[in-house]
Amino acid sequence: MGKAALILLAGTLSMFFAEVCSGASVLWFATVWAWLLTFWLYLSHFVLLVNLALRFKRTSLTALYLWGVLFGLYESWITKVTWAGYIGEKPILGTVLGFAVCESPIIVLFYHPVMSFIVPILVLERMSGEERILPGHRSWLVKTRRNWLIALFLVAMSSTFLAFGAKGRMLAAAGSILGSVAIMGLLYRLVLRRATGQFSLQSLELGRRSLGLLIAYVVMLYVLGFFFLLPERIASAPTILLTVVFYGVVVALLWLAGPSEAAVAEPEQARLFGGREAAWLLGLFLVLSAALTPLRGLDIVLVLVFYVIVSVVGFGLLVHCAGNVLRGWRARRRQAEDMRPSTGHTGAPA
């Protein structure tokens, strides 16, 4: 029961940061579609990719970003957003090589890697206790100026997106936040009670049989979504091939990244974000989204501004992470060559 509660908590965190903070699923917990598909889609992707990251020891923030890109690519096969734009709409800025110019970088390079995957992981780790945070993650949970600015940016962005998605319904926007937090709180208490206060990200690891069933479920989602959910939005063969090539590039980067270091020098005495800071940020999220909801003209302008920002940031994150991987790979190769014994022979002096 404790493991099931933890998995549900992980799925709820991913659902909250992905769907509520984007305004895509207002009052999701009161909709049939969320319980039939959306919630389980996020839960299954999150748990599967966490398991793969742990099994292959690719758990650095750089590697997690790349896993998150794979997460975001479901928007090609199931919803087809990366190819045809948001459901019910045409691509905002058209397409290039069959990809929606505006939507693709936002959801694949920024939103899903950061909001659907990395942020829920960091929050779940902080909820598990300070001593169970994975190496390399602690520096992103310390109350530094950089981390405060990132948190405030994400709150401002999420408030804008939720206000836009709520379409003038202030109570719906507030209810989406409060209802989600209530569900997460109940699941968190259940996890603590069942796990006697001891759990970590590694607690999400599944046995071989359970992982096989999860993979089968995700494959089923992709197959059914591809053929039966808006099949008229399926891309042309060249675009599908390019999508597969991009998968190959990301997987190659994950392979080149190598296992994450077991020990990373991080600030030990610095204070981490905790319950007080989380409550403050959630309160700010609630107030800002409520304030922006009735301002129908302003929220559209702000949405466009954030779209531009996160598109640029998304490309920047991809380049940065790829650079990190390649630098680390070259450094390991040089180290291996330096440690290789010399095979040369020296002649005897005459």
Q: Judge whether 148 lies within some domain.
A: yes
Whether residue 275 lies inside any domain: the answer is no
Per-residue pLDDT, 100 = 96
pLDDT tens-digit readout, 7-52: 999 999 999 999 999 999 999 999 999 999 999 999 999 999 999 9
34, part of any domain? yes
Mutual angle of helices 208-228 and 39-55, in 10-degree steps = 130
How many H helices and E strands in the chain?
14, 2
Domain that holds residue 181: 2-260+281-337
More confidently predicted of 335 and 107 = 107
Placement of tokens 């630098």 in the chain: 327
For residue 152, what are its two tokens? 């405030």
Question: Cβ–Cβ contacts within 10 Å for residue 252, how many?
Answer: 12
- Whether pLDDT at 130 is above 90: no
Of residues 345 and 164, more confidently modeled: 164
Radius of gyration of the chain (CA): 22
Tell me: the pLDDT tens digits for 75-120?
Answer: 999 999 999 999 889 998 899 999 999 999 999 999 999 999 999 9
pLDDT at 347: 46
Give the integer Cα–Cα distance in Å for 297 and 6.
40
Residue 203 domain flag: yes
Lowest average pLDDT, out of 94-108, 168-182, 226-240, 250-264, goes to: 250-264
Collapsing DSSP to helix, strand or coil, 208 comes out as helix
For residue range 161-201, list pLDDT tens digits in order: 999 999 989 999 999 999 999 999 999 999 998 876 579 99
Q: Which residues share a beta bridge with 190?
A: none
Query: How many domains are contained in the chain?
Result: 1
In a domain, 32, yes or no: yes
* pLDDT for residue 349: 42
**CB burial of residue 104 (10 Å; 0-12, 13-18, 19+):** buried
Q: Which residues pair with 99 in a beta bridge?
A: 96
Residue 268 lies in a domain: no
Q: What is the pLDDT of residue 88?
A: 87
Does residue 84 belong to any structural domain of this protein? yes
So what's the pLDDT on residue 343?
55
Nearest to 259 by CA among 52, 61, 47, 59: 59
Quote the CA–CA distance of 78 and 218 in Å, as a whole number: 11
pTM of the predicted structure, to 2 decimals: 0.94
Nearest 10 degrees: CA dihedral of 256, 257, 263, 267? Answer: 150
Q: What is the pLDDT of residues 148-162, one digit of tens each?
A: 999 999 999 999 999
- Predicted local distance difference test score (pLDDT) of residue 340: 76
Strands 99-100 and 95-96: antiparallel
Residues with Cβ < 8 Å from 6, sequence gap 6 or more? 191, 195, 199, 203, 204
Residue 271 forms part of a structural domain: no
